[in-house]
Chains A and B, each alone.
Chain A
Amino acid sequence: MDTKTLNNLKEAFEVAPSAELAKIITFALIESGNVDNIAPYLGSFGSSLSAMELEQVVNALESSGNQESLMILERGLDTTACTNLVRLLINSQKLENAKAVYLSALERDTSILNREFDSLLGIEPHVAKLKVVEKAEIADLSRYRQKTSDFNDVVGLDRIKKQIHKKIILPFQSPSLFQRFKKKIGGGVLLYGPPGCGKTLLARATAGECNASFFNVEVSDVLDMYIGESEQKLHAIFEKARNETPSVIFFDELEALAGKREHARNSSSANTVSQFLTELDGFSQNNEGILVLASTNVPWAIDAAFLRPGRFDRMFFVPPPDREARYGILKHHIQNRPASDDINFNALTNKTSGYSGADLANLIEMAADEAIDESLVQGIDVDINFSHFKEALQESRATTTEWLTTARNYARYANDGGRYNDVLDFINKNSKK
């Protein structure tokens, strides 16, 4: 390429930089031996370089002995080209350069993460992961440990509280009595029901009543993109709980970890399920004194193996709050807010059948918003009054009905071993005839 054309292209690049233009100019400069001048174009390649072209550029940079240029090149490449670059450097035994480029690329784009690179470059897998997701080390489980509450913090749900007290809390409080009858303390309990009805709150309160360490495990704490890592994390959580008995481990949204294996599309999900089952059984370890609580909105999506005796063999249905509970929840949420005396809580209770605890909290929020709007319009402080609730009621709806519609079919047709008898009883008792 003659100098005039090259200069024209350089001017064009300055006006409108493009990957293709950068590529043409770079190769022209390499061909003419002006490798030192390619720096301004190195960061603009994107996905335009093939593996062979990339090799040519790297060789040219190497001859100029400029490692900084390598980093500029890396920053301008897309994920595939970046992976090619690391591989190229590894293959040509430039491991230091490869490591620098790989770690720099990881900071920018986590999808480049590669176990093979980790091992070839001598990077500890978890170091690479820390670089990527900045997570705590697997073994450090202190963040799972959470504060608990007690049954006084749970409004309503008296029947289920009584059941839990009798079947779960008493064995924790009077272990000798139960040990005398060779009854195991702990085990697995599954709370299920419509969303927003207090399953998590109840689990937390159960732990509080048991006076045990409470480990709240979320799906994101366990699931990991590395094969085998999820299983290790799960094992570590159970180990930690075994070391701190009496303890309660709570798994929210159990279906994400214990979903039916036939629906799992990759073997790693099935492996996580198997590991979970092993931990629950406690074959090689002693699970005495560990209560495993779990909650789900979709009990029918849980792998049947989890519901066998010795695992989550006690299932408690957490229903939507009844009249009395709704009254209590509304009163609970309105306290400490400026509220007028004209609010008819009985009428509100009547109009909110099927509302979950979360729906009721939301209703109060909406009424508060109405009061704020009115305060702004009138220029004076207005308390929450009944008319604000009337407005809020028009915009809100019960969210539990959809769940009950679905659950009714499961209770009617897939009620193996009377698993959903509680749901069926609830529906028969409370549905409109």
Chain B
Amino acid sequence: MNEYKLEMARRHYTQGSYEASIRVLKELLADDPNSPTYHGILALNLIAQHRIYAAEYELKIALNQDPSLAFLYTTSARVCLLKNKHNIALEQCDEALALEVDNIEALLLKNTIYKHLNQHEKALSCLNHAARLEPNSCDTLTAYGEHYYDIGNRKLALEYATQALKSDPQDTDANLLMGNIQLSLNNIKEAEYHAKFTILRNPDSQAALALFANIKMHKNIVFGLWWRFNSMISNLSHLKGTMILIGAYLFFNLLARAVRDLGYLQISTAISYSWLAFVIYTWVGIPYYQRKLAKELEKFSFNSDF
């Protein structure tokens, strides 16, 4: 029964239903609170939900229970990558590879980390290693596509992205890559299609929201900037949002005071009011953006004849 539930949790995770996966894993953990596998998969779900510290906590428990599971190190590397701790992330990947020489996930993660560090040769070498092991996997093909996209070879990038999508048409990374390639090729409609698909599958993906904003920017630069600004603001955590509001308050206040000290009283008053406007905007504008986004992301819609 537990094996079946674990399979369900995994399936939910791969399908992007993180809440459902977490619910199943919590049931499993109630039966066996010390299982490193359950904690590890829970961490993966939490990472997908950008709950990095919670994921870190779960990984700590899992690694204490069983430090010989390679996937715990690759998951840990993902956390480090999100926290921009690239060197530790590399170490974690090496730990995974020490346990399993041919751990494809670790190799692909190393490829990503090296790309972040601008060490493209090392990145490519990891990718080639992964490709030798699993040449037709969606992850490997997407990674090649990203590599060629980064170095400006759109034709090859498109070829790999198409192959990746053929291997797994639901993969968010492959769809995102295809969206970016299509935008660079000026195929706006196609780019929009893939951006929307990616956001539907992973609504928190900043990269997908950025792509969508870029598409909007392609049509109208001001509107695109507005779109980008809102996507960034609306995806902030409560803590970060509050900090930005306090920061903005201090900035407006100091600016207004400095301008007033210079003798420009009217401008100072205008700046004070603009702070108010900013606060009102965060209250009204963000929900408006979210409604607009939801409408844009409407899934498949039927024509009136159906």
Contacts and interface: CB of A to CB of B under 8 A. Distances in A.
Interface of B: 1, 3-4, 7, 10, 162, 165-167, 169-170, 175, 197, 200, 299-303, 305-306
B3 A266 contact: yes
A393 to B, nearest CB: 16
A353 B302 contact: yes
A18 interface: no
Given A225-B1, A413-B165, A413-B166, A404 B299 contact: yes
The 3 closest A-B pairs by CB, nearest first: A409-B169, A404-B300, A401-B299
A433 B300 contact: no
A405 B169 contact: no
A413 B300 contact: no
Contacts of A401: 299-301
Q: How many interface residues does chain A have, given as a range?
A: 20 to 34
Interface of A: 223, 225, 265-266, 300, 322-323, 353-354, 400-402, 404-406, 408-410, 412-414, 427, 430-433
A405 B3 contact: no
B166 A402 contact: no
B166 A323 contact: no
A413 B162 contact: yes
B7 A265 contact: yes
A414 to B, nearest CB: 5
Nearest to B178: A413
A432 B166 contact: no
Contacts of A322: 306
12 contacts: A404-B299, A405-B197, A405-B300, A408-B300, A409-B169, A410-B170, A412-B165, A413-B165, A430-B303, A430-B305, A431-B301, A431-B303
B305 to A, nearest CB: 7
Contacts of A432: 301-303
Contacts of B305: 323, 430
Nearest to A354: B302
Nearest to A400: B300
Given A406-B170, A414-B166, A432-B301, A323 B197 contact: no
Contacts of A300: 169
Contacts of A408: 300
B196 to A, nearest CB: 9
Contact of B306 (A225, A266, A323): A323
Contacts of A225: 1
Nearest to A402: B299
A433 B303 contact: yes
Contacts of B300: 354, 400-402, 404-405, 408, 427, 431
B165 A409 contact: yes
A133 to B, nearest CB: 11
Contacts of A430: 302-303, 305-306
A347 to B, nearest CB: 13
Most A C-beta atoms less than 10 A away, residue of B162, B165, B299, B305:
B299
Contacts of A266: 3
Given A409-B170, A412-B169, A413-B162, A431 B302 contact: yes
A300 B15 CA distance: 13
Nearest to B137: A262
A414 B169 contact: yes
A73 to B, nearest CB: 24
A315 B263 CA distance: 79
Nearest to A430: B306
Contacts of B10: 265
B306 A413 contact: no
Contacts of B162: 413
Contacts of B1: 225
A405 B12 CA distance: 18
A371 to B, nearest CB: 29
Contacts of B306: 322-323, 353-354, 430
B181 to A, nearest CB: 14
A81 to B, nearest CB: 16
A313 B88 CA distance: 51
